[in-house]
Amino acid sequence: MHDCIIIGAGPAGATAAYHLAKRGRSVLLLEKATLPRYKPCGGGVSPQVAQWFDFDFAPAISARVTAVRYTWNVGDPVVSEIETGEPIWMVRRDEFDYFLVQQAQNQGAELRHSTRATGITFHQDGWQVQTDQGAFAGRYLIAADGARGPLAKWLGFGQRQYTPGGALEIEPRLPVENRHIAHFEFGLIKNGYVWNFPKADGYSIGSGIFRPGKRKSQDLQPSLQNYAQAFGVEAKAVKAHGHPLCLWSGLQRLHTQNAVLAGEAACVVDPFTAEGIRPSILSGLRAAEATHAALAGDLNALERYTQVMHDEWGSDMVWAQRLASLFYRFPALGYQLGVKHPTGVDRMVKILSGEMRYADVVNRVIQKMGRGLVPS
């Protein structure tokens, strides 16, 4: 009987495993893939996450971005330097996720990868997890199996609140010029943006839709190909990976009997930028704290986890969602009044790096444009 079984070894699951094991809890981390495993992801990480750990992330960082370049229809560029704090990290998810897992193992967490969960049952003293490699028992369960994972449904979270989004990405391995610049393109696609994030040995080029509508995943292909050509990349020659996004869409319950949701299973993805790594790590940290407290006898610890995630993340995502609704509904206007505004682009960089909250940005928009323009 483990103190906690964590299903999913992405940033949320690995973080939860690290912090629980560090507190002396017996942790079993289950992962269906064989690690390290490829994971399509732009790979931008706010250096803010370093404050939640006591080790150096340098081995897992592929590049550091010191400037952000925005364009409209691949023209009308705006470049903003990151002048304060640590540069934004760029990571490859196979390396970054496995690095976090190894830190958890160093603290005593047990890893079983190539192990797919096939079902769960709750008994009087905890959870029984059935897998294709046998059954395991744990007093508590953290479901961190991502947007596609079945754990949320198995745990009874059938009506999760989220906005469905999607992304299509390629990762060509090519010599990189200007490795310190991250690129965002807003004119090539409706209800989203296209990006190019540099790595030490290539690019992560992607196209994503972040608002509901009639556009489908295949609509992402033309914008991805057009944008890749601007960097001398033939997108058709590189395998493309598509994946769904569960964008945050409102306060919801993240706990149940001896179990919590974390990471994309908890729909914590930023509805404006689709940032997922930082909020996933935050949810893994808070899930570990709540589970540790519950194991110590705190009967309200898991319920408090739901409230803490709302207070620390969800309350600001209300504003991110409203800003996304406004910006992606009128992207040309948003680009002119937001991105091209002398202070607007700097504020966006501070949001990406974790130095500013959306509430601060939206309050400034309200002051300049009136409350009626910001969706409620």
Q: Mind listing the pLDDT tens digit for each residue in 175-223?
A: 888 889 999 999 999 889 999 999 999 999 999 998 766 555 567 999 9
**Cβ count near 119 (within 10 Å):** 11
The Cβ-side half-sphere exposure at 353, using a 13 Å CA radius, reads 22
Strand partners, 165: 245
φ, ψ (nearest 5 deg) of residue 43: 85, 20
Q: In what order do the strands lie in the sheet with 63-65?
A: 44-45, 88-90, 63-65
pLDDT reported for residue 217? 58
pLDDT reported for residue 161? 80
Compute the residue count for the chain. 376
Omega of the bond leading into 36 within 30 degrees of 0 (cis): yes
* Greatest Cα pair distance in the chain: 62
The DSSP H or E segment spanning 127 is: strand 126-131
DSSP 262-278: -GGGGT-B-TTT---HH
Which residues of the chain register pLDDT less than 70? 212-218, 364-376
Every domain of the chain and the residues it spans: 2-372
Q: Residue 175 carries which side chain, given as an amino acid letter?
A: P
16-26 per-position pLDDT tens digit: 999 999 999 99
φ, ψ (nearest 5 deg) of residue 345: -70, -35
CATH class of 2-372: alpha beta
Angstrom distance (rounded) from CA 104 to CA 19? 8
Burial of 166 (0-12, 13-18, 19+ CB in 10 A): buried
127-170 per-position pLDDT tens digit: 999 999 999 999 999 999 998 899 999 999 977 888 888 999 99
Among residues 14, 6, 4, which one has the least CA distance to residue 102?
14
pLDDT reported for residue 365? 62
Which positions ≥6 away from 248 have C-beta within 8 Å? 162, 163, 267, 268, 269, 270, 271, 279, 313, 314, 317, 320, 321
pLDDT reported for residue 306? 97
The Cβ-side half-sphere exposure at 89, using a 13 Å CA radius, reads 20
**Cβ-contact 112, 135 below 8 angstroms:** no
pLDDT reported for residue 82? 86
